[in-house]
Amino acid sequence: MTTQTSEEIIEEQVGTADEKPPFSLELNQDQKDIKEWVHGFAEGVMRPAAHEWDEKEEFPWEIVQEAAKIGLYGFEGIAQFFADESGLSLPLVNEEMFWGDAGIGMAISGTTLAVASIFGQGTPEQMGEWIPQCFGTADDVKVAAFCASEPDAGSDVSAVRTNAKYDEAKDEWVINGQKAWATNGGIANIHVVIATVDRELGSRGHAAFIIPPNTPGCEQGAKVKKHGIRASHTADVHLDDVRVPGNCLLGGKEKLDERLARVREGKRSKGQAAMATFEASRPVVGAQAIGIARAAYEFALDYAKERVQFGRPIVENQAIAFTLADMKTEIDAARLLVWRASWMGRTQVPFENAEGSMSKLKAGEVATWVTERAIQILGGNGYTREFPVERMHRDAKIYDIFEGTAEIQRLVISRAISGHHIK
């Protein structure tokens, strides 16, 4: 796909477009090609495997490897999608993958959480060193994990207890704590861990650390048995006197010390920047939810045209047809929010009303509602594991929970629109 080195690709991607492309709903040829290419993989490889991996509840290494072989999983692929100056390629790719299957989709895309963190907070040298190691190669595929949540720190990230202490004599950080719910936790080559360096400062005393491959003391804890996205691996991660070199602190020590000094003096931290990063990443998650919703809607529409009761296809009942009309309308509305926020994030239009959170909130709730309605349209068949809408409904529900619950999105939006500190 490309012969550039990782450093060259990163340097090219770090900046944003000089001229902001206008927001457009008309896809250009590159975007259409990417969409069609991912759709082909989703339809030909992911869909046929979806049921099997959901039942097995195991990480589908061979499918991730197939994705790597065609360039869909890997550093160059991500860089290519991110390079789209309109910001639409990333949601397009995610919608198509999750239309194929959400569990496998998360197995393929889970690494990007860690990559986004390195990309957002790392120095160019750190990006060049660690991002390629998150993916490995097509012959030796690796994954990465982003570990922020803990048993007592979910929505309340400021409660993170995992701590990092600097050992000046050895220029090493010593990390101790327990992480919960980590996607790819324990099976990852690279773990990005959020730890506190000063608990009194709450989330402003946090820093992100790279845990290099095979570092002693970093171990997988219990694997989580889940309701949905069961092909994706989720586990606790134990961090027991984990020693990492000083340069594993993302952004570097000088920058951290400056930031902490600013905060201790009561000056503004870079909280605004962190918020902008979340706002920019949330639409991508929203696009995944839309992919699931679209898959369930399409299945229900086809079924409603085929299934005959009372001598006519069930779609000829307004109760069914109007539900399908609402499903399609809601999906399209959610997609517009996602595309708007993706475009804003890429072109650095300020998120004055938390438009990224709006897109994730809407897409998650649409996916949960649409997949539940799809089960209803299929009747008894919808409730069985023989038909995919049951799985899609289980998969969709996570979009009301992770990457900020629906309530937390509403908190962010209500604070942004009101200027008040809503609790």
**Three-state SS for 256?**
helix
| Catalytic hit among 36, 254, 403, 407 | 403
Measured CA to CA, the distance from residue 421 to residue 411 in angstroms comes to 9
Contacts of 305 (CB under 8 A, 6+ apart): 313, 315
Please say which residue, 234 or 371, places its beta carbon nearer to ligand FAD. Answer: 234
Q: How far is the CB of 393 from ligand FAD (least distance, A)?
A: 15
Measured CA to CA, the distance from residue 397 to residue 367 in angstroms comes to 8
In 13-97 the beta strands, taken as DSSP E runs, fall at: none
Q: How far is the CB of 108 from ligand FAD (least distance, A)?
A: 14
Q: How far is the CB of 278 from ligand FAD (least distance, A)?
A: 12
Please say which residue, 153 or 324, places its beta carbon nearer to ligand FAD. Answer: 153
- Contact residues for ligand FAD (CB under 6 A)? 113, 146-149, 154-155, 181-183, 226, 234, 398, 401-402, 405, 407-408, 411
Q: Can you give the length of the chain in residues? A: 423
Q: How far is the CB of 162 from ligand FAD (least distance, A)?
A: 11
- For residue 243, the cross-strand partners are 174
Structure tokens at 297: 């809607």
Structure tokens at 392: 């899609």
The type of residue at 416 is A
Q: How far is the CB of 237 from ligand FAD (least distance, A)?
A: 9
Please say which residue, 69 or 227, places its beta carbon nearer to ligand FAD. Answer: 227
Q: What sign for the dihedral angle of Cα 390, 393, 395, 398?
A: negative
Please say which residue, 182 or 324, places its beta carbon nearer to ligand FAD. Answer: 182
Q: How far is the CB of 113 from ligand FAD (least distance, A)?
A: 5
Please say which residue, 378 or 408, places its beta carbon nearer to ligand FAD. Answer: 408
Measured CA to CA, the distance from residue 366 to residue 279 in angstroms comes to 19
**Three-state SS for 197?**
coil
Q: Does the annotation count 254 as an active-site position?
A: no
Taking CB positions, which residue lies at the least distance from ligand FAD?
154
Asked if 324 and 297 count as a contact pair (C-beta separation under 8 A), the reply is yes
Q: How far is the CB of 152 from ligand FAD (least distance, A)?
A: 8
Please say which residue, 208 or 338, places its beta carbon nearer to ligand FAD. Answer: 208
- 157 burial via Cβ count (<10 Å: 0-12, 13-18, 19+): middle
Asked if 248 and 211 count as a contact pair (C-beta separation under 8 A), the reply is yes
Return the closest-CA partner of residue 49 out of 231, 287, 225, 289: 231
The neighbour count for residue 385, using CB atoms within 10 Å, is: 10
| Helix axes of 271-306 and 102-109: crossing angle, nearest 10 degrees | 150
What's the Cα-to-Cα distance from 197 to each of 159, 219, 234, 336, 356, rounded to whole Å? 13, 21, 26, 40, 29
Please say which residue, 260 or 401, places its beta carbon nearer to ligand FAD. Answer: 401
Enzyme catalytic residues: 403
